[in-house]
Amino acid sequence: MQAARLMLKWLWRLEATVCVVTFSLTAMALMSDVLARELFGDGIFGAQRFAVWTTAISGLLGFALVTAEAGHLRPQFADGWLPRALDPYMNRIGDVVSALICLFLGYFAWGFVMSSMQLGERGMAIPIKVWPIQMVLPWMFVSSALRHLAFAAWPALRPEPKGETH
């Protein structure tokens, strides 16, 4: 369990760092573009497309970070249907199902990225290959699946959902 806790901690740090860096790059690109328009009458070529890509990366990684904090919205209408004593089992079952869904989506995301790579797809505004940017899709799903599997295997690793009290 300690190894899993350490792995989850480092995974969170890596993803949070990438989120902060990419979102900072978004802000810098957009501020630079606006400044260039105001000072020189013309923006920076590709700055807005770059900002879209970096925003997408930080936003998609946010999925994995929210999983790490058990912060996803979930329907609560059926919470009282089963006795509270079954909550630990239901949480484990929920984590296993969530991991399977994430692995399923990660598989198709991987296929999407590989298709993009094989076709040699490039961005329109900035003609670079887009598959390296798209790699965040399978990453976020596999990363979230690993977290859910760890939560199912070691319930003590599962954070208490925000805004919920038992």
Does any domain span residue 165?
no
Q: How many CB atoms lie within 10 A of CB 107?
A: 13
Does any domain span residue 81?
no
Classify burial at 49, counting beta carbons within 10 Å of its beta carbon; exposed 0-12, middle 13-18, buried 19 or more: middle
Does any domain span residue 152?
yes
Domain count, the chain: 1
Query: What distance in Å separates the CA atoms of residue 132 and residue 16, rounded to the nearest whole number?
Result: 19
* Contacts with 122 (C-beta within 8 Å, 6 or more apart), sequence order: 128, 129, 130
For 139-159, what is the mean pLDDT? 95
DSSP H helical segments within the chain, as ranges? 2-40, 47-68, 87-119, 131-134, 136-153
What was the pLDDT predicted at 164?
A: 55
Does any domain span residue 108?
yes
Token readout for 89 is 């089992």
Does any domain span residue 79?
no
Whether this model's pTM surpasses 0.75 = yes
Instruction: Answer with the residue of higher pLDDT: 83 or 163.
Output: 83
Token readout for 128 is 């670079």
Does any domain span residue 27?
yes
Length of the chain equals: 166
Does any domain span residue 163?
no
Can you give the residue range of the structural domain that contains 140? Answer: 2-73+86-157
Q: How many CB atoms lie within 10 A of CB 77?
A: 6
Is pLDDT above 60 for 166? no
Unique residue bearing structure tokens 């899993």: 4
For 109-132, what is the mean pLDDT? 93
Give the rounded percent of residues in the chain with a pLDDT score beyond 70: 95
**pLDDT tens string 49-106:** 999 999 999 999 999 999 999 887 666 777 778 788 887 788 899 899 999 999 999 9
Does any domain span residue 53?
yes
Unique residue bearing structure tokens 């606006």: 34
